[in-house]
A = this chain, B = another copy of it.
Amino acid sequence: PTIFDKDEYEDNSVAGVVTGLAWTQVGGDILFIETSISPGKGKLTLTGSLGDVMKESAVIALAYLRANGKKFGIDPRLFDLWDVHVHVPAGAVPKDGPSAGITMLTSLSSAFTQQKVRSQLAMTGEITLRGKVLPVGGIKEKILAARRAGIKEVIMCKTNRKDVEEINADYIKDMKFHYVTEMKEVIDFALLKEKVEHPLDLTIKEDVKPVIAN
């Protein structure tokens, strides 16, 4: 009844793959956000049976990165030179809600920097257009699912601290929680300096004109 079995979990060594925490009808579960980019013109494709609110999360995340890319070492012209595809397996499970926002933004950041994502890390939280992280529901169920999947660290909104403190401390003594209020804190922690193996070459050829100069 859950989306992913524990044995499907794996280290996040591929660029653009980040572990999120979802709250489904049958309880908490982990999910993966996968972002793949390819040369193009900035088109965004979303798959994985996503509902409207979850689709909007991806749009907001991409808009935030487009406006604030420099803070993370991303040349903003890249967003007009590459197409973006965000997928959330499993494809047949309907998914919705805003709580994948920070996971999506981290996934996009990894794809556009080709930096590795910290392993054994999961996250949940809504994002706003100005980069605030908002609290979400179902924290207890999500953390139990994260634990079952071998997750060691979880990022969430500071406002959700009280929900964590209601969980039996013994049960989660091996997990570490990071409380944030800004997207920048999420990315600074989640992305490692190290690039993935065989990273894409994202340098911009000088003769390629960005869209704005056409």
Residues of chain A at the chain B interface (Cβ within 8 Å): 5, 7-8, 14, 16-17, 32, 34-41, 45, 47-49, 52-53, 56-57, 59-60, 63-64, 66-67, 76, 81, 85, 87, 89-92, 97-98, 101, 126, 128-130, 132, 134, 159, 207-208, 210-213
Q: Which residues of B contact A89 (CB under 8 A)?
A: 126, 128-129, 132, 134
Supplied contacts A7-B159, A92-B98, 11 more A-B pairs, CB within 8 Å: A35-B129, A36-B130, A47-B129, A49-B53, A53-B91, A60-B87, A63-B85, A87-B128, A90-B98, A92-B97, A208-B212
Q: Which residues of B contact A85 (CB under 8 A)?
A: 59-60, 63, 129
Could you tell me the distance between the alpha carbons of A23 and B8 in the complex, rounded to whole angstroms? 23
Q: Which residues of B contact A7 (CB under 8 A)?
A: 159
In the complex, the count of this chain's copies comes to 6
- Decide: A76 near B34, CB < 8 A? Known: A85-B129, A89-B128, A126-B90: no
Could you tell me the distance between the alpha carbons of A13 and B52 in the complex, rounded to whole angstroms? 30
Task: Check A211–B39 contact: CB distance below 8 A.
Answer: yes
Task: Check B49–A66 contact: CB distance below 8 A.
Answer: no
Q: Which residues of B contact A210 (CB under 8 A)?
A: 39
Could you tell me the distance between the alpha carbons of A8 and B135 in the complex, rounded to whole angstroms? 10
Q: Which residues of B contact A132 (CB under 8 A)?
A: 8, 89
Task: Check A101–B97 contact: CB distance below 8 A.
Answer: no
